[in-house]
Every structure is written in structure tokens, then in C-alpha cells.
Amino acid sequence: MKNNFDKSVTSFSPEGRVYQIEYSIRAADISGATCIATKGLNTVCLIEERKNFIIYNIPSSDSISLELNKYTGFVCSGIPGDLNYLVSEIIQEFCYFNEKNGHEISVDQLANLIANKNQVLSQQSITRLLGVKTIFFGIDKEIGPIIIKMDPSGYFSSHSICAIGENSNDFTNYIQKNDISYDFRYFNYEKLITYTISLLQNILKNDLKATDIKITIISLEKKFQTLSLEDVDKYLEKLKKINKIIKTQIYN
């Protein structure tokens, strides 16, 4: 039955499902690197799993994160070929709005513009949907820290904590099973980074090295910043010490 309704992005199955949209969402989850975003007290932290590889002798990655201004950034995770197209679309929209209106677009407005473009693709059989999920993150002057997740269909929503990529379903299960407290919303710069690393480590279920992850942080004081390998290593060592103390207290 499914094969009769999965040829076109505008075809609904008798159950009300649009298989082409489901395929694109699944492709983004399977192909993309795991990315986790959390927001704390005047701070937003993003951690990406580094997964670089070679396609036709060209270095490629299944996640791309970029700075748009001092307080705004985004990360895309999914099919490598689709990533470059969506990234260029986001940069183009950001620059066009600035040129047209004389001021930079806010995080939620940018997410809305890109979502509308994706939504058009789900209504017309022009081209297939992109197998990419996106997280827009930053600090808004009025709202404060903001994280918005968008899927290939154009649906987007605001979060305090979210994940995209290969292990996003494991992330959701981990949050639900462990009844994670939302106290991290009041964490400062240092605490939020350590907490987000621990989340990724628990989901991947292995010890991380500095070369395995990329950490991006936006705060009111330090603005947009990508941590160096030395800084990442310091936070990993700090997390190891914290885990040792916790284990000692448990066994004693």
C-alpha cells in the first residue's frame, strides 16, 4: 500500500501520512552528526559530534555550524550534499534582510523565513525535501537565550534543550527516562558547557576526546565563541573529576 503513495511529496496515504516528508526526516536523522543545544542563564551552548570523511577526494562533514553575527548562529545536520544548499539559503536570507531593512534579523524571524521556504517544497512537487535538520540559536535582546529546532518539512519549535542528528532519538529517550531537571536554565557559562558535554557523553555511551566534539558558546559577555581544542580538553578533564567524585560517593 505504501508504494502507491510515496512517489510525490503532495500525496497523502489513507492514514494521513506523507511518506516523502517522513523519508526526509529519517534521512536527516540517519545521515547527520549528533548536535545538542542547551540554554542557560544568558548563555547558549551547542556541541557537535565531529564526523569528517572523504567523498570523491573532497573533505566533507555531515554537520555545519556558522556564526551569523556576535549573538546568532545555526547548525545544520543531515545529508552532506543538502547541507551546503541549506547553509547558503540561510546566509542569503540573513544578508538580504539586513540589506533591505538596515538591521539584522532576529533568530525567530530567520527561522520563520527558512521554515516558510521549506513548507513551500512540501506543498508543490518542485523538488524533493532536503534531508537536513537545523538548530537556530542565539541571544535575543528582548527574549534572551533562544533555541529553535526546524525539520525538513518546515515545522519549527522553541526549546530549552534539544538534539538533532543520528542519536537524537536516543537523546529524547534519555531525557524522558531520567526525568532531567530543567535547572540548567539557571546555569552559568562554565556549568552549562560541562553539563552539555555530560549529556552527549551519556547518549554516545563512550568517553569523548577533544577532537571528537566541537563546542560553540554564545553569552552576553563573551558573545559568539568556538572553543579551542585546549579549552575543550580542560572541560573534559573537569568532567572526569566530577564523575570520579560522584562514583566515590555512591560506592561509599
* pLDDT one digit per residue (tens) for the chain, 252 residues: 455 555 555 555 555 566 677 778 888 888 888 999 999 988 999 999 887 544 444 445 668 889 999 999 999 999 888 898 999 999 999 999 999 999 999 999 999 999 998 888 777 666 778 889 999 999 988 889 999 999 988 889 999 999 999 899 999 888 888 877 677 888 888 899 999 999 999 898 888 888 889 999 999 888 899 999 999 999 999 888 887 776 665 555
Domain count, the chain: 1
170/174 Cα distance (integer angstroms) = 6
138/227 Cα distance (integer angstroms) = 16
| CATH number for 113 | 3.60.20.10
**Burial category of 78 from C-beta neighbours within 10 Å (exposed 0-12, middle 13-18, buried 19 and up):** buried
Report the 10 Å Cβ neighbour count for 177.
8
Model confidence, pTM: 0.88
Domain limits for position 236: 2-251
Residue 89 pLDDT: 93
Residue 17 pLDDT: 62
Residue 250 pLDDT: 56
